[in-house]
Structures are given as C-alpha cells and as structure tokens.
Amino acid sequence: MDTAADAGVFLADLGVPATVGTTTANVLWDTPDQDVLSGHAMTREYAITFRVTDFPTLAMGNTVTIASQAYTVREPPHAEDDAVFAVARLQKT
C-alpha cells in the first residue's frame, strides 16, 4: 500500500465491521483453527488487523464487537511494518 487512503479501500473491499465504543470501522477478521495437544484439541486465535487511525486508542482490556459478539483485547495491539495497520489479539467475552 502506498497511502493510508489505499488502506481504506483495501478494508472496504475485504473487511468486516467492528465496533469499539461508538466507533465502527472495517477490520480484517482472523479466526484460524490451531491444533494443540498433539492434535487432541483445537483452539481459535482471534485477531483483527485494523487501520491505526480508525482505533487510535485501542488498548488491552477494550471491547471489540464483531457480528454482535463481544471480544476483549487480550494484549496491547502491535503496529505492522508500515504503521498504517496494527494487529490486536482478542478473546471472546
């Protein structure tokens, strides 16, 4: 991506709406399955990739709502290489 405007187009095409407080913006929603205990169990690692300017104060403990389900940010979000995007890991509330 060349600009923050490109990031907005990217999220409009591929993102899903997420709400933090009174702000709603599109995010990339990631829920991959992961094997644990040598294949005896599965777990999900919930994460969102978001444009930093959409949720500039997102922090550990905040609530993120996606598709009417509430999630809690479980660790401080970390910026990606270009600092246009950041990733926050979530857990179901």
pLDDT digits (tens, 9 = 90+) for 25-77: 999 999 877 666 676 666 678 999 999 999 999 999 999 999 999 999 999 99
What is the signed CA dihedral for 51, 52, 56, 58, rounded to 10 degrees? 80
Full-model pTM: 0.84
Provide the pLDDT for residue 1: 47
What is the distance, to the nearest Å, from the Cα of residue 46 to the centroid of all Cα atoms in its chain? 8
Residue range 66-90: mean pLDDT, rounded? 93
Residue range 80-93: mean pLDDT, rounded? 90
Strands (E) in 2-54, as ranges, are 16-20, 23-30, 33-36, 41-44, 46-51
